[in-house]
Structure formats: C-alpha cells, structure tokens
Amino acid sequence: MEALPEAVAAVKAGERRYQTVNGSWPEGPLPKPDGDEAVRGAKRLFRKFTGRAYRGKWMATSGRRNTWPYRGIFYVNPDRKCDHGGGWRAIVHSMSHFVHYFKGGSRPHDAFGRHAFLEREMIAYVVESGWLEGKLKRTAKPKAPVDVKQVRYRALLAKIAKWESKQRRAVTALKKLKRQRTYYERVLKPST
C-alpha cells in the first residue's frame, strides 16, 4: 500500500516541474512560424541539443501529423494543435521529446525531470535567439517580372523543332522501308 503515496508524490512533483517548464514561455500568444521557419528552427534545435545534424531530409507538414521523424524524413508541423497550443510551443515540446529519446532517455516524462530540464533549456534557447521575433524568417527575394508571351514563344519554337526532327526521321524511315519493299517485290516476283 505504500507504493501508492510514492506514485502520487511523483506525479505531483512532475506537475510542479512542468509548471516551471510552461512558465518559461513569455506571457501572451506566441507568433506562429511558417513552414520554412519551423523547419529551420527544428534543425537548429536538433543540432544544438544533440551535437550533430540529422542525416535524413526535413520537411514541413500540416494537419494532425506530429513533429517527428518517419522513414528518414523529419516532419515538422507548425500547425499542430495539441495541449501545448501549437506553434513554437508544440514544436519545442515535440523536439525535446525526440532529443530526449535520441540521447537515450527511457521514458518521456521520467521521474528525474531530465525531459523537463531539456525542454526548459530549449525554450530558453528559442527565446534568447529571437525566434519569437521572427529572426528565422527569410526575406523574400523579389522575383524578376516574367514576360509570359516570351516564355510561350520559346516553348512554341521548341515544339516546332521537335516535330521537324520527328518529320525528318519519319521521311528517312519511309525511304528505307520503300527500298526494302522494292527489294522484296523484286526477289519474290515469280519468274515466268
């Protein structure tokens, strides 16, 4: 019967630990990163807290998918609505779980608080690095205006050249076939 009070004490200690983790975020709503910004941030978190780069591809995703690797692709979901509210909170929480697992953590929310400590460090890194102010956003390069008529004209010229090439090959093939036909007509002609 004495194991029950110890389990309750461990749960309460975990709840206190996670109050300090969730209290590490600034007050108020956080900005939601776009897909590229979220992937860039997740890559940096992984490299910073594991000491190495992820060997697979990185890809932004959406919907109900988690921020987690699957078959060599690390999917990052900036839109994931979960108990952490989505956005940077959900990304950092998921990344802290994966890094904890990657470093050999046995249980997601262990009694020693290793995951909570790691998540608190990640939150501090995100806040101090200015990611919430948009430092990971890339400035959009202005695109040169495209003349659609020029593009279509070049495509038309390419199609004409392609069909003319096909026509030349067809004419050559027909010449060869006609020569073969005359040969066989001469050879197969019954001698009278």
Q: Which residue has the higher pLDDT, 81 or 26?
A: 26
Taking the C-alpha atoms of residue 127 and residue 29, their distance in angstroms, rounded to an integer, is: 14
What pLDDT, on the 0 to 100 scale, is given for residue 1? 46
**Residue 79's pLDDT band (cuts 50, 70, 90):** confident
**Residue 57's pLDDT band (cuts 50, 70, 90):** very high
DSSP string for 133-168: GTTTPPPPPPPPP--HHHHHHHHHHHHHHHHHHHHH
Label residue 46 exposed, middle or buried (CB < 10 Å: 0-12, 13-18, 19+): buried
Tokens of 19: 């109050």
Q: State pLDDT tens for residues 96-135.
A: 888 888 887 767 776 566 778 888 899 899 899 888 888 8
What pLDDT, on the 0 to 100 scale, is given for residue 19? 67
**Residue 94's pLDDT band (cuts 50, 70, 90):** confident
Taking the C-alpha atoms of residue 145 and residue 176, their distance in angstroms, rounded to an integer, is: 49
What pLDDT, on the 0 to 100 scale, is given for residue 24? 75
What pLDDT, on the 0 to 100 scale, is given for residue 192? 57
**Residue 155's pLDDT band (cuts 50, 70, 90):** very high
Taking residues 124-151, what's their average pLDDT? 88
